[in-house]
Amino acid sequence: MTESNTGDAPPLADIINGAMEFTIPPAGKMGVRAIEARRGYASASVPIEGNGNHFGVIYAGVQFTVAEVLGGMIAIATFDNSAYYPLVKGFEIAFVGMAKSDLRAEATLAEEEIARIEAEAAERGKSDFTLEAVVTDADGKKVAVTKGLYQLRAHGR
């Protein structure tokens, strides 16, 4: 599945955004939005409005969320959704700058890693993968870096 839009089908990011309010209600309430989702790539955003903390920056949990959803977005855009679903197993975040504006999170998954995940999931019914993401502010300054451990798991397992 890719982001390309053929015919009247909505872009994948629009589908993800439509589903997010039902599948991850807190992320929807924060205003987390998929920007782009395609094979091996995902980006998302979140506004500062309504997401600030007691000293004027975006709350840490919001920064976590905008980066963490990328694992699911990449899985949806990259793997067979009729056979597999993603889940998060662990997540690390380092706050490296002050988040004082809307944020964007971005992650990629290399083709070699995609092939490994697909093969392992087909053989074992599941496959772990690591996804590193970068969260930047409106000026492109890095405010957080993350490392998430996800699993692609066959339905019914």
Q: What is the DSSP letter of 157?
A: -
3-state secondary structure of 112: helix
- Grouped pLDDT means (10 residues each) for the chain, 157 residues: 51 88 91 96 97 93 97 96 95 96 98 98 97 97 98 90
Query: Residue 86's domain is classified under what CATH number?
Result: 3.10.129.10
Do the domain assignments include residue 2?
A: no
Do the domain assignments include residue 4?
A: no
Q: What is the pLDDT of residue 8?
A: 63
Q: What is the pLDDT of residue 2?
A: 43
Q: What is the pLDDT of residue 74?
A: 96
Q: What is the pLDDT of residue 9?
A: 57
Do the domain assignments include residue 131?
A: yes
Question: Which domain, by its residues, includes 23?
Answer: 12-154
| Residue spans of alpha helices (H) in 3-144 | 12-23, 25-30, 60-78, 111-124
Q: What is the pLDDT of residue 18?
A: 87
